């Protein structure tokens, strides 16, 4: 059981609680000591540095004055006096420049006048000579003009005849004939393969619907696997297995290109350089073909030409 407190004990307990509360409410003051000695040391250090710099500058000035006498030498002072004593007369300089310019202008005008007088004299002399010789050479001039007119007429007629002949020649030659002449002048051909021509160049009547009516080359029939020779030298620009041509090559030499189509095997690839007579492929029947043969095609600037008009097949 808890012990019961007496009235005196309760009063004493209350006084103790009140005293503790009074002690907690009192303000506590803190004392801080400031050290001013560091500030004093910094100020003294600054003063010492300034005094050292000033003393160095004074010493430097004294050293320069004692060891460098050029600034106060007689030569330097004489040159300074000469420069200061020299008097430039700007008015006189201006007058001299003005006189020189006026003299140059007068000289130029005099030369121009002399040229004008000379030209006038030459014109007068030429007029007098013309008047003297007019009566003497009048008839001769008429004869000369007649002769010149006749020669001009004959030259014009000759030029017109030549141009008309050239135009006639160019108009008579068709585009195909011009292409054939250019091919023969720039490229030589050999027969690519031995065999009979089974289909010629141009329009034809095919028996099957898959064969085109307009034949852009010639078909040379040969046995399967027969070696195909390059008809010309050049670069292989196409080596493909796609399309109606099947396995085919396109060899370019200048503006002329040659196509070898429906091959069985290709011996060269795109980018190769071939020589005339080199084995480049085998006869086959790939693509849109009805039997083993070589489709041989010649083009110039992508215009097809009859190969039989270029070489004997």
CB burial of 120-136 (b: ≥16 within 10 Å; e: otherwise) equals eeeeeeeeeeeeeeeee
Domain boundary assignment for the chain: 181-309
- The pLDDT score that the predictor gives to residue 222 is 96
Residues 170-203: tens digit of each pLDDT: 557 899 999 999 999 999 999 999 999 999 999 8
Looking at the predicted structure, is the pLDDT value of residue 64 above 90? no
- The pLDDT score that the predictor gives to residue 258 is 97
Confidence of residue 22 (pLDDT cuts 50, 70, 90): confident
**Higher per-residue pLDDT: 161 or 136:** 161
- The pLDDT score that the predictor gives to residue 105 is 75
Helices (H), the chain: 7-25, 37-67, 74-85, 90-172, 175-186
Looking at the predicted structure, is the pLDDT value of residue 227 above 90? yes
Average pLDDT, the chain: 78
- The pLDDT score that the predictor gives to residue 232 is 97
Beta bridge partners of 298: 258, 305
- The pLDDT score that the predictor gives to residue 239 is 97
Distance CA 108, CA 102 (A): 10
Superfamily holding 181-309 = Glucose Permease (Domain IIA) (2.70.70.10)
């Amino acid at each position: 059981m808890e012990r019961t407190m007496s009235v005196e004990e309760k009063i004493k307990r209350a006084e103790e609680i009140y005293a503790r509360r009074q002690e907690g409410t009192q303000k506590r003051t803190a004392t801080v000591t400031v050290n001013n000695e560091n500030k004093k040391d910094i100020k003294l250090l600054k003063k010492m540095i300034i005094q050292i710099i000033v003393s160095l500058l004074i010493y430097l000035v004294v050293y320069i004055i004692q060891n460098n006498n050029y600034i106060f030498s007689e030569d330097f002072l004489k040159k300074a006096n000469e420069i200061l004593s020299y008097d430039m007369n700007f008015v006189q300089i201006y007058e001299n420049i003005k006189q020189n310019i006026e003299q140059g202008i007068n000289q130029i005008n005099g030369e121009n006048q002399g040229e004008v007088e000379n030209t006038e004299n030459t014109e007068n002399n030429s007029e007098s000579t013309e008047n003297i010789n007019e009566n003497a050479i009048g008839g001769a001039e008429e004869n000369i003009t007649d002769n010149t007119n006749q020669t001009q007429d004959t030259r014009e007629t000759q030029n017109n005849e030549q141009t008309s002949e050239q135009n006639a020649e160019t108009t008579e030659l068709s585009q195909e004939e011009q292409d054939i002449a250019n091919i023969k002048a720039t490229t030589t051909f050999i027969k690519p393969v031995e065999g009979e021509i089974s289909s010629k160049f141009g329009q034809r009547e095919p028996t099957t619907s898959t064969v085109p009516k307009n034949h852009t080359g010639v078909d040379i029939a040969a046995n399967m696997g027969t070696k195909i020779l390059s008809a010309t030298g050049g670069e292989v620009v196409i080596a493909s297995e796609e399309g109606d041509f099947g396995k085919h090559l396109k060899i370019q030499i200048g503006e002329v290109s040659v196509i070898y189509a429906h091959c069985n095997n290709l011996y060269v690839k795109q980018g190769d350089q071939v020589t005339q007579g080199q084995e480049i492929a085998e006869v086959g029947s790939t693509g849109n073909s009805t039997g083993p043969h070589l489709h041989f095609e010649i083009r110039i600037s992508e215009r097809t030409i009859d190969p039989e008009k270029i070489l004997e097949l």
